[in-house]
Amino acid sequence: MNRIEERFSRLRASGQKGLVVYIGAGDPNLAATHQLALEFDRAGVDVLELGVPFSDPLADGIVNQLAAQRGLASGTTPPRVLETVAAIRRDSQIPIVLYIYFNLLHRVGLARFIENAAAAGVDGLLILDLPPEEADDYERLMLAAGMCPVWLIAPTTPDSRIERIARRARGFIYYVSREGVTGMQSTVSTSIGEMTDRIRRHSPLPIAVGFGISNPAQAREVATHAEAIVVGSAIVNRIAEQGLDPSMPATVGAFVRSLSEAVRSVSTS
């Protein structure tokens, strides 16, 4: 049982919902990423998603695209992200997932990247553009390394494919609650409850719902339908506004704490 599985097992046993937070690694720099990870751990984050900067982040909206640009501009590379994860591990055991595009793994070599990520202390990978139908080698290498392959399910995913994805997933299933790219929204989707019920018919894994959750009220609402919620763009936007201000990690951490408190207020019973 790796850190992701252990964390969700603990949440289930305590009757609590979880909070998954996304930020762009290296935005505004990797020292800030390290600081933010520790702030988030103290704020009650259950899983940290680190977006590895890529030149063509096709699944991302403008907020996260700009974060990727800032990460690249700060000199962030996959090896330096893994160095940062290893440094975080000296102070924190917060579960960490890398949100990444397949080309970055292919460039290094699939086996080598997974081996290096596991050694650094990464707990799972979420590859945005790798179809599960083409993931046999990836899945085998991930399970051998003790890491969780996290898969996405969308509102348009048919039951036959939900079943196929559910068989391959480990740790949790990420339900993308809206069609399109990442980004903040003023309202949450009205079909979340229906879709999470459909997914549960195929898998006992925790479901984390993301794409568009922007504030504590929305976090609380979505948490009634899922085991965890995912917040990204609303946090990344605050990082962009504060930039290199020394108070940025604490300020962003306070916002994340408000999300954690909202999610914790929803009982699983």
Q: Which residues are catalytic?
A: 49, 60
* Nearest Cα residue to 45 out of 265, 268, 207, 256: 256
- Percentages helix, strand, coil for the chain (3-state, rounded to 5) are 50, 15, 35
Q: How far apart are CA 114 and CA 133, in angstroms?
A: 19
Beta partners for residue 93, in sequence order: none
Give yes or no for a contact between 222 and 242, defined as CB atoms under 8 angstroms apart. no
Give all strands (DSSP E) within the chain, no chain letters: 18-24, 47-51, 96-100, 124-127, 148-149, 151-153, 173-176, 207-210, 228-231
Q: How far apart are CA 147 and CA 106, in angstroms?
A: 18
Cis amide bond preceding 28, omega within 30: yes
